[in-house]
Amino acid sequence: MVIFNKKYFIMLLSILTLSFLLVACGGDDEEGTDEGNTGEEDTGEGSEDAAGDFEEDSWQFVTEELQGEVQYEYAAEFANRISEKTGGAITVEPLEYGSLGSSVDQAQLLQQGGVQLAAMSPGFTGGQVQDGQIFSLHYFFPSDQEQVQEILTNSEALNQDLRAKYEEHSISPLSYWTEGEMAWTSNVGIESPSDWEGLNMRVQESPLMRESYDAYGATVQALDWGELYTALDRETVDAQENPIFFIESASFHEVQDTVTISHHNNYVAMTTANTEWYNGLDENVKQVVDETVEEMQEWVFEEQLSQNEAGLEAIEADTDNPTEIIELDEDQIAEFREVAEPVHQYYRDEVEGIDQAIFDKLQEEIAEVMGE
């Protein structure tokens, strides 16, 4: 009995060992097959294997803002996500404002392919891409930022038709997003259109911005934001518009007595790629870029929201530089609208090179989102 058991035990051990070896070999085979499948179906999301699917590359992503500000933080987050999705094969270097010249220089650099990616404000190419000036119209987009984001994300007029216009100039807007509502800063405290009389307003390089402020009776001066603090301090310009986070971050409130919450417009930024570079990307890389840009819409919405909230709190808490915050009421806004709305029609009917179909389509899309 004991002997049988010993034999039986040895036999059983042999069978188990053999089975283990067979399973192990079979397992290897199966794993090999799985790996093959995974490789083919890999979405590229963060796996080490993803590196094998992507050739090593490095891109530059230039922004018009400094570290900590919305555009730069966007580029940094984008860089992290691209690196993660490509298993570290592709690195993206975020660049802050000033590292490659002025905002206009940066736009030109993107167009020439000197950088692959840029966060770009339409205001700096308004002279070239006439239709991009639609973002300069006052009281055209809603004031509700959720609605603005919905329009920017889903609009066909913007994401297809306007994109095609930009692409004629080697700029591919992959997405449009809001950096928040813009407010006016000044020393006079702007509460009605007549308060603009005699003020010199700082604008970006967009001819339509001139028309918008001309309608209120102001003069305008195009200036890069890097020169704006000094210009306001020396009173060579009297007023400017920007989202609250940027007013605080660039310290414009230190050299201006008032901030007017006017609800007149939003600060729209675009994630852009050089068109020839983007079109030449391998399909799997293009897919990762598109997917990341899409995901970033929600991320950047939350980012601007928290930066704008923090900016307002910081301005209010800055007792060394007291700033009066004026919020326009409905009647005051109606006064501004009355003067601003004819500029919409002027833009549509008079500005040379405008595609009226884009204006009409976008106007309809806006009305739909606003439930009008």
Q: Which residue, 174 or 231, is less far from ligand 6CS as judged by CB?
A: 231
Binding letters toward ligand 6CS, positions 110-139, x by CB under 6 A: -----------x------------------
- State in angstroms the smallest separation of the CB of 274 from ligand 6CS: 19
Provide the pairing of β-strand 171-186 with 266-274: antiparallel
Considering only residues 242, 258, 262, 307, which one is a binding residue for ligand 6CS as defined by CB under 6 A?
A: 242
Q: How many CB atoms lie within 10 A of CB 15?
A: 10
Count of residues that interact with ligand 6CS, criterion CB under 6 A: 11
Q: Which is nearer to ligand 6CS, 53 or 65 (CB)?
A: 65
Judged by beta carbon, residue 179 or residue 303, the one nearer ligand 6CS is: 179
Q: Which residue in 342, 353, 3 sits closest to 169, CA to CA?
A: 353
Q: For residues 287 and 47, what is the distance between their CA atoms, to the nearest angstrom?
A: 16
Contact status, residue 236 vs residue 215, Cβ threshold 8 Å: no
Q: How far is the CB of 77 from ligand 6CS (least distance, A)?
A: 17
Rounded Cα–Cα distance for residues 189 and 298 (Å): 34
Find the binder of ligand 6CS among 64, 73, 205, 238 (CB under 6 A). Answer: 64
Cβ at position 250, least distance to ligand 6CS in Å? 8
**Nearer CB in complex with ligand 6CS: 240/332:** 240
Tokens of 252: 């414009």
d(CA 111, CA 176): 18
CB of 124 to ligand 6CS, least distance (A): 7
Task: Determine the interface stretch with ligand 6CS among 22-30, 229-237, 242-250, 314-322 (rule: CB under 6 A).
Answer: 242-250
Question: Minimum distance from CB of 369 to ligand 6CS (Å)?
Answer: 23
The single-letter code of the amino acid at 119 is A
In the complex, what is the shortest distance from the CB of residue 269 to ligand 6CS, in angstroms, rounded to a whole number?
7
Tell me the window of 13-21, 213-221, 241-249, 306-314 that interacts with ligand 6CS (CB under 6 A). 241-249
Residue 103 binds to ligand 6CS (criterion: CB under 6 A): yes
Residue ranges in 245-274 that form contacts with ligand 6CS under rule CB under 6 A: 246, 267
Which range touches ligand 6CS (CB under 6 A), out of 43-51, 240-248, 280-288, 344-352? 240-248
96 scored as a contact of ligand 6CS (CB under 6 A): no
Contact 250, 229 (CB under 8 A): yes
Least distance CB 180 / ligand 6CS (angstroms): 8
Q: Which of residues 267-326 bind ligand 6CS (CB under 6 A)?
A: 267
Name the segment binding ligand 6CS (CB under 6 A); options: 32-40, 238-246, 255-263, 313-321.
Answer: 238-246
Q: Which is nearer to ligand 6CS, 136 or 242 (CB)?
A: 242
158, 268 in Cβ contact below 8 A? no
Interface with ligand 6CS includes 65 (CB under 6 A)?
yes
269 vs 60, 95, 132, 176, 221, CA distance in Å?
A: 18, 16, 11, 6, 21
**86 versus 106: smaller Cβ distance to ligand 6CS:** 106
Q: Which is nearer to ligand 6CS, 64 or 248 (CB)?
A: 64
Task: Name the site residues for ligand 6CS (rule: CB under 6 A).
Answer: 64-65, 103, 121, 179, 204, 225, 242-243, 246, 267
